[in-house]
Chains A and B, each alone.
Chain A
């Protein structure tokens, strides 16, 4: 699992790739919380993530909650089918804002 954070305008983008399971989800959790420490809206790019388990989902949920506490927005980008079905099963597909691109996410925040 690879993770990389960079800033793009008013957004911080955390790009994750590979498979997220309970071995690596602590790193995801750290990266999400650290990403929010930058003080900007956080976009988590999951276009490179083929599989996520519930520990990974839980890390995203915690991140979302943390963002709300800091009055920052939190959204997912590029959610693939495999990840979407897990989000649907956990009914989080209605909770996380999801977009196909940074532009779409930014437009939604205006």
Chain B
């Protein structure tokens, strides 16, 4: 089900095809995300959600189709153009991706140093404001190795929002977190969006988080969009693949006995 754009779309993906070498992972993805929306992208392993995220972030080239971010076409491979777009985007990566040799504060300040000419005092206050927001006040002089998993995620979030980006991306924010910390992070995501009206895209497989924070969910399956809809619409979907996901049912393998035999016995030359 495709969503008609409301004219308010800040992310527009059209017929996106992407993969690695000969292996096509995304087979023509079309979706759009509205300003201020929290969109959760879900899908099983191999559905292409990581490839989709990487394409949106300009971390990989696409084979066909187009990506428009904030109304402008996104061209991979043009450093100046990508840098300008990236200034309006924040990304919280799965493992945090903090530099181990820098303190928490220095990590958070990196985008400021890269994209602005702000005074040190200003940058320090901005860093502390973001640390307060993610409940890491007072931790700015610690090294990443001294932080717990939850704290690393929060520091990564602080860095992702330091430039008050219009687009914010999360890659598996709950990965490795206990349920309480995960719930706290969900709350934080909602708070940030409500106050700043930032558009947020969350790639996750954590169903509970998704249902709690999403305005709309896009479900990917085998490189295609199975459905984009509100939590209600997704719940009521009669697509068995979506119901399987909601009910945590394992996938059934299509078993073609001849194909199977061939795979087991073919000699490589």
Contact = CB atoms under 8 A, between A and B. Distances in A.
A and B are interacting partners: yes
Interface of A: 21-22, 25-26, 29, 53-55, 57-59, 61-62, 85-86, 88-92
Given A22-B163, A25-B118, A53-B164, A89 B125 contact: no
A22 to B, nearest CB: 5
Interface of B: 112, 115-119, 121-123, 125-126, 129-130, 132-133, 162-164, 191-192, 195-196
A58 B122 contact: yes
A58 B196 contact: no
A92 B195 CA distance: 13
Contacts, number: 53
B263 to A, nearest CB: 55
A26 B132 contact: no
Given A26-B117, A90-B132, A59 B191 contact: no
Majority SS at the chain A contact face: helix
Contacts of A54: 126, 129-130, 162, 164
Contacts of A29: 119, 122
Task: Please classify the interface of chain B as helix (H, G, I), strand (E, B), loop, or mixed, using the class held by over half of its residues.
Answer: helix
B132 A62 contact: no
A61 B163 contact: no
Given A54-B130, A62-B125, 13 more contacts: A25-B118, A54-B162, A55-B116, A55-B118, A57-B129, A58-B122, A61-B129, A85-B196, A86-B195, A86-B196, A88-B195, A90-B129, A90-B133
B86 to A, nearest CB: 14
Nearest to A21: B164
A35 B116 CA distance: 24
A62 B195 contact: no
Contact of B122 (A21, A59, A91): A59
17 contacts: A22-B112, A22-B115, A22-B118, A25-B122, A26-B122, A53-B164, A54-B126, A54-B130, A54-B162, A58-B122, A58-B126, A58-B129, A59-B122, A62-B122, A85-B196, A89-B192, A89-B195
